[in-house]
Amino acid sequence: MPDVYGVILEALRPHLGPRAEVVMEEGLKRLGKHPQELTPEDGAFLLKGLVYRELQARLSPQEAKRLVEGLLERISPAGGSLEELEKGLKRFGLYVDWPEVARLRALVNRLRQEPDPRLLREGKELLAALEEKLEEALLRQAKDLAHLEETLERVRHLGGPKVRRLETLLETIRQAHAEGLFAPAEVERARNLALELRKFLESSAVKAPTLPEIVFETQEEAPAHKHPTDVFLTVEDASELEGELIVDLEALSEEAARRIQALEVEEERRKLEELLARHAPLLERATVSPLLAEVEALLEAGTPVGEKLKLLEEALQEAEKNLRAERRARLIQMGEALRTLPLPEEAKASLESALRLAEETLEEGGHPDLLPLEEELRRLEEEARRRA
């Protein structure tokens, strides 16, 4: 439980001066308690009555209300504990590319240094949001798993190392899913492999390998003069080719080409949806939107986009780097503006702490919301002008 008496007294001193102790002593007399006996409920009683009336005589109604509300939040029992947040971070720490995890890590690091009920509550809200996000991810993973299981049954008779690799990946995904873990990298590899095998299967040009198409080499690199479609492997790896399938793309019928194109477009649409969900704040950036429009138009027309999807992903990654650099620069500007404000340090302390936490969130890979910080800075700037 927080030191209710100490928290309130320290917060009142910048505004009431020596009278802060007088007011608190009067409150203790009314309650018939010693400072160490003050509970959060007692503190709330004093803040809403005696303290609020005293503050109204020194501050504007809005400032007095804001100060009291902040103190009520600080002394109220926290909805969670640091230990709970640490357990949650351990559970979700696997998902390093989730911004919420980065924010949670920054919160936990800060709370290890200094308890803060507001940050504890934010951490608890983040855990709830992460639970929901993981649940949604597991639902998608279940659909992916069903799709991959179906594909495996279709292609199992083809045999070969690629089918065996797909079986291994599926077993890994099944185990992760049973344990409530999201395995996006394994799912992506499995889906890529499944697409390749489906393309083999849907093609009318599937045939067993023949001797001229396989060249056994003991050297590590193939000679440059060999035909580019030759298959080079060591003798030790030769057994892995048993049952391997080779597609002669030039021999495809028009119908087979359409089937393969439809498979490619379906998979590219899925990948695009995941990209858009992961990078939603970046879709209107100038370096992204034209390429995104082109990719969407091609897929809408049923045309595979090929390398354009990779280019779009690279553009989104670059846009994210730029956005993070812009936010970092803005945080530096805000910190400098706050530093030069002619206000007591106590009045600026809360925003200073919030700015540091935002910087830590950025360093952890998260995306801090700067809007509330900018609003608070404008409020302090207005207060400084009013006092001048």
Residue 168: what residue type?
A: T
pLDDT at 237: 37
**pLDDT band at residue 80 under the 50/70/90 scheme:** low
Residue 206 main-chain phi, psi, to 5 deg? -70, 135
Using pLDDT thresholds of 50, 70 and 90, give the confidence band for residue 245.
low
Q: Could you tell me what percent of the chain has a pLDDT over 70?
A: 86
Give the pTM.
Answer: 0.66
Residue 223 has pLDDT above 80, yes or no: no
For 84, counting Cβ atoms within 10 Å of its Cβ (0-12 exposed, 13-18 middle, 19+ buried), the class is middle
pLDDT score, position 260? 87
Who wins on pLDDT, 269 or 78? Answer: 269
pLDDT digits (tens, 9 = 90+) for 277-287: 888 888 889 88
DSSP at 77: P
Q: Which residues pair with 233 in a beta bridge?
A: 216
Give the Cα separation of 171 and 159 in Å (integer).
Answer: 17
- Say if strands 214-216 and 231-233 run parallel, antiparallel, or are unpaired: parallel
Residue 71's pLDDT band (cuts 50, 70, 90): confident
Per-residue pLDDT band at 103 (split at 50, 70, 90): very high
Which of 121-153 are b and which e, b meaning 16 or more Cβ less than 10 Å from the residue's Cβ? ebbbebbeebeebbeebbebbeebbeebeebbe
Segment 198-212, tens digit of pLDDT:
988 887 544 444 334
Query: For residue 93, what are the CA distances in angstroms to 100, 119, 136, 206, 318?
Result: 10, 18, 17, 44, 24
Q: How far apart are CA 341 and CA 348, in angstroms?
A: 9
Q: How far apart are alpha carbons 54 and 63 in whole angstroms? A: 12
Cα distance between residue 109 and residue 107, in whole Å: 5
Q: Is 207 helix (H, G, I), strand (E, B) or coil?
A: strand
The predicted pLDDT at position 75 comes to 80
Domain boundaries, the chain: 4-75, 82-184, 322-387
Q: Given pLDDT bands bounded at 50, 70 and 90, which one contains residue 215?
A: very low
CA 24/CA 337 separation, integer angstroms = 35
Contact in structure between 46 and 26 (CB atoms under 8 Å): no
Per-residue pLDDT tens for 269-279? 999 999 998 88
Give the pLDDT band (50/70/90) at residue 234.
very low
The model's pLDDT over 318-330, given as tens digits with 9 standing for 90+, comes to 999 999 999 999 9
- Read off the tokens for 29: 């007399």
Please determine, for residue 216, whether its predicted confidence score (pLDDT) is greater than 60: no
Across the chain, what does the average pLDDT equal? 84
Indicate whether 97 pLDDT > 70: yes
